Amino acid sequence: MNQEPQEQKKLQFPAGFLWGTATSSHQVEGDNRNNQWWEFEQQPGHIWRDERSGLACDWWRNAEVDFDLMQQFGLPAHRMSVEWSRIEPEPGQFDHTAIDRYRAMLDGMRRRGIRPMVTLHHFTNPLWLERMGGWENPVVVTRFQNYVRYTVRALSDLCDMWITINEPLVYVAQGWVRGIWPPMKVSPMGTVRVFRNMLLAHGVAYQTIHTCAPDAQVGYAMPVRVFQPSNPARWLDRKAANLKRYLGEHIWIMATVDGKLRPPLGVNEYNHALANSADFFGINYYTRDLVRFHLDPRRLFGEEHYHPQGEYSDSGWRGIYSEYAPQGLNQIVREVSVFGKPIYITENGLPDHDDDQRPRWLLGHLHALHQAIQSGCDVRGFYHWTFTDNFEWSEGWGLRFGLVELDPATQERRPRPSAAMFGDIVRDNGISATLVRQYAPSLLPVLFPPA
């Protein structure tokens, strides 16, 4: 019998698979003064230890430092976002110097062999929009459309993959349900208004991008968490988990498939622009949640918790848990595959300042993704969150998601071991047993079970 030696085994990814990293403008550019997050950071008590984005990763002046490093690790793709407040600093007034800078960034990536994907909205708004009521005001839909039209016309010769809106669910949950991000409201009506306006804006943006750039690929990035009933035998836990899935994911995804606005976003309402408004699905996957029935309607009748015996990333220290649950990625990719569209994992990663968990977590998730691909799912790319440590919203600089360590004070960068590992995976377009033995030997029997 001809037995394949263990070391030659490999989890091979499809040819042309896009490997990359992801960032957002406010988290990396620095000196982003004209949006609501900058204003929010200046007020004490909002951010962990009152930290501020400040210079962030200094991308506005020198993103090229990171592009050079990306090239060094052989990354063929990167997802970045552009900042509405820079491009349209006042309503209807567009700043071509901002566009010039973004053109230089996109061009810089391409010259280094890095294919860009651009997100048009990643949590931040121009201050003028905030003053008008932000995403609660229905006028935002046409305002967003104007900004999208201008931006895509100006950049579409350099970028052909677009994300309209990043994680609408997180934006609304943090700002209007939990009330811990701007505008710090707890408002069920506001929640519905914002979610609805974002959905409508996505549909209009999708159509607008295609008018400006007919061949572009356009989607949105959805934060997909796996909601599992705490006790699967308990009817109320199952219902509570389903309700979260329905409100958080189902109503958005389904509307972009069939154009129907479902309660509470609308009743018997069909929106032509929304129907079939995703050329691909972008999935941001971090962890799973167990859901236990709870009487509190503000928690949507479900209390989320983690597995008591779970393994947690660094964020465990502040009570913000992220559980190692790689199989959730396999599950959601299979679920989203039923819509027959290509899938990109637009974010996946973990906070791990000393990189002692990242290699294993990353390999575990890529293994789960590989299983989904083997079962027939059309996954075209994987973007790790993130390349260089960056400003982590209300966690400030406390959570370190980067393949590359950053000292924000000196701007000094130090690649972590996982950067080299990721580079090896990219070069190989797969995961070899030798690599697993080197970086996470405990996973060998999981990734390459003995015959």
Interacting residues with ligand BGC (CB under 6 A): 24, 27, 166-167, 170, 223, 284, 347, 385, 392, 401
Q: How far is the CB of 221 from ligand BGC (least distance, A)?
A: 7
Cα–Cα distance for residue pair 295/102, rounded to 1 Å? 48
Q: With respect to ligand BGC, which residue has the nearer C-beta, 144 or 220?
A: 220
What radius of gyration do the chain's Cα atoms show?
21
For residue 348, the minimal CB distance to ligand BGC (Å) is 10
Q: How far apart are CA 332 and CA 347, in angstroms?
A: 14
Taking the complex as a whole, the smallest distance from the CB of residue 23 to ligand BGC amounts, in Å, to: 8
Minimum distance of ligand BGC from residue 28's CB (angstroms)? 10
Closest CA to 418 of 427, 409, 405: 405
Q: Report the alpha-carbon distance of residue 159 to residue 79 in Å, rounded.
A: 11
**Residue 287: C-alpha distances to residues 92, 222, 319 (Å):** 40, 13, 15
Residue 118 or 273: the one with the smaller Cβ distance to ligand BGC is 118
Of 157 and 354, the one with the shorter C-beta distance to ligand BGC is 354
User: 376 burial class (0-12, 13-18, 19+ CB within 10 angstroms)?
Assistant: exposed
Least gap, CB of 247 to ligand BGC (angstroms): 17
Nearest approach, Cβ of residue 320 and ligand BGC (Å): 9
Pinpoint the alpha helices (H) of 272-340.
Answer: 327-337
**Closer residue to ligand BGC (CB): 75 or 170:** 170
Q: CB of residue 392 vs ligand BGC: minimum separation in angstroms?
A: 5
Alpha-helical regions (H) of 125-234: 127-131, 140-155, 168-172, 188-212
Alpha carbon 19 to its chain's center? 15
**Smaller CB distance to ligand BGC: residue 125 or 284?**
284
Angle (deg, nearest 10), helices 358-374 and 417-428: 20
Residue (of 130, 270, 135) closest to 201 by Cα position = 135
Q: Which is nearer to ligand BGC, 123 or 147 (CB)?
A: 123
Question: Whole-angstrom Cα distance, residue 113 to residue 262?
Answer: 42
Would you say 10 or 416 has its CB closer to ligand BGC? 416
Cα distance between residue 13 and residue 425, in whole Å: 10
CB closer to ligand BGC, 10 vs 78: 78
- Name residue, tokens 């890529």: 366
**What's the closest the beta carbon of residue 391 comes to ligand BGC, in angstroms?**
8
